[in-house]
Amino acid sequence: MSNPFLEPSTLDYQLPPFAAIRDEHYLPAFDAGFAEHLAEIDSITGSGEPASFENTLVALERAGGTLDRVARVFFSNSVSHATEAVQELEQQIAPRVAEHEDNVLLNRALFERLRQVPVDGLDEESARLVEEYLRRFVRAGAELDDDAQATLRRLNAELSALSTEFSQKLLKDTNDSALLLGTAEELDGLSADAISAAATAASDAGHPGKYLLTLILPTAQPALESLTDRDVRRRLHEASVTRGARGNDADTLAVAVRMTALRAERAALLGFDTHAAAATDNQTAPSLEAIMDRMRELAAPAVRNARAEAAELEAEAGHAIEPWDWAYYAAKVRKAKFDVDLEALRPYFELERVLQDGVFYAAHRLYGLSFTERPDLAGYHPDVRVWEVFNEDGSGLGLFLGDFYTRDTKKGGAWMNSFVDQSRLEGTRAVVINNLNISMPGAGEPTLLSYDQVVTLFHEFGHALHGLFSDVTFPLFAGTSVPRDFVEYPSQVNEMWILWPEVIAHYARHHETGEALPQDVIDRLHAAGAWGEGFETTAYLGATLLDLAWHSLPAGTVIEDPLAFEAAALADAGVDFAPVPPRYRTSYFSHIFAGGYAASYYAYIWSEMLDADTVEWFKSSGGLTRENGDHFRRELLSRGNGIDPLEAFRRFRGRDAELQPLLVRRGLA
């Protein structure tokens, strides 16, 4: 059988031919891809013609097709469907990819040729491409001497291997830490569909007749809001916060410590004081100091609000609040203060209806999009579904894939990936996927979402829209290829449509009766919107400041006890409020040790400043209208990184973002 990666896919939109892909195709395709890419680069550097934009930059953008095709599929599968075979392959492939990237970015002949490319007369995106390539080569170490580059290669190779190790160990320990219960009585408080899902999970794991509460990636586990048995809540919480730190063969702490040390050493080699300084040097935030100042500015009022919330919870509970009590009593206080019971809303949030009549409907109203499911196009797993997305004029925009259910081979959390980037140069349109981790219901039962899962569905589709709407010439700038502290902004904006009157009236209907969610309930949801922001902001800032603490260590620092370091970092930052642990602890902080967010987890709240300001613009400009959608799409969502993202924001908004809307939203004004 021929290797399907060696030629561009002939499927619609160049969707990877998943039905033809086998594990044995990956290594030969990577081998061929590495060789092809290096040969193409040799052709660029060996040209006898003077360096020009066409024969250097355009040629470089066109290079590496085979490698790009196989890498996108393989590394998507390494987090979405990480079978034992894929994990074994990743251990071999990841260091070789790091080595190949160094072979490209440390290529002195290529760097020198890039520096010779004249920029006079180039259009805005082309001039930015030259600037971006030069910046990337310098940041990758192209100007270092041979000895320093050799050290850099060693560091990059080890970091790549360690990132894979962290990810695989965390997946194993997350699966192993799921809470197995023997009786349905221990699940008292959970809905019937949640109990059924726990029974299905236990049966699938080889424990028929029992119940398995699987873990999601963040500290807070959804079942804690409903479980009436306090000891079961405690056990579930402790299972969550001890993942990766249990001293077993899946312990991740030593890996995390080693990674932070290597990152610090690499940053020093590249001329930075710390990895945090290096990672934030090319973001939209003006400086690391500005980031730290903003996080500390938010921390004190956030913790103050969390303490006030805790006092209300203790009054309700009649005892001191432990971390495993918070969600349970917060639900009771929310019910008492606002008459809002989030668990009671689940029958109104059936997955298919929320997706079709909520997420897709909002995109139709705002941007004129329509969606047609394509069962003739296969995904990489039977759970994956494929939709073709059309513009209002009927032209094809791209493909959207959805992989919504959890499984043992999928890492926790939710994310968007791209299988094909839009590019006018290559004539390609976007193929993107959203991954969630929703529990599979029992056979024949509906998939009912929590309110948080509805938020996640809208959020991740905001990332998908950012990819689908890309309208750039060069692949390097496509879609979500923007600074880390900007990329969350479009996805956060898309959350605003969840409770928008025309949208929620269209999707929030009881899955059995078809009854619409009553307007008075929606009104109470709005009223309760700021309740709990003390907890949410404190938990988020705890993770953010922990990330920055790990990556502000100078080279040569030795951390003997990572958990003691974690506790001290939270205390030093003023976010060590015991009932509110950080959203992620070191041992399961996949974002920063296996996900590209090292020293960048601050990006969520930095992006939220733009988001909150944009929501105010939509509200003051008429809301869910085609005119507003077209303006947002044209000036911002379509731009990718083809222009400075903050300049794109200014063209959309007419000015820089203001902080006040965020402070009001978070209850910090």
The residues carrying an active-site annotation are 460
C-alpha 626 chain-centroid distance: 28
The percent helix, strand, coil of the chain (3-state, each to 5) is: 60, 5, 35
State the angle between helix axes of 603-620 and 645-653 in degrees (0 to 180), rounded to the nearest 10.
20
Decide: 35 and 67 in contact? Cβ < 8 Å: no
C-alpha 325 chain-centroid distance: 28
C-alpha 56 chain-centroid distance: 33
What are the E-state strand segments in 127-282? 179-181, 211-213
Paired tokens of 374:
């394509």
DSSP helix/strand/coil, 513:
coil
Write the DSSP assignment of 568-583 as a string of letters: HHHHHTT---TTS--S
Write the DSSP assignment of 599-643 as a string of letters: TTTTHHHHHHHHHHHHHHHHHHTTSS-HHHHHHHIIIIIT-TTSS
Strand partners, 438: 405
- Sort residue 541 into left (φ over 0), alpha (ψ -120 to 50) or beta: alpha
**Beta 385-390 vs 396-405: how paired, if at all?**
antiparallel
Decide: 252 and 215 in contact? Cβ < 8 Å: no
Cα dist from 638 to 122, 477, 633, whole Å: 20, 10, 6
Q: Max CA-CA distance within the chain?
A: 81
Decide: 622 and 502 in contact? Cβ < 8 Å: no
Q: What are phi and psi of 111, to 5 degrees?
A: -60, -45
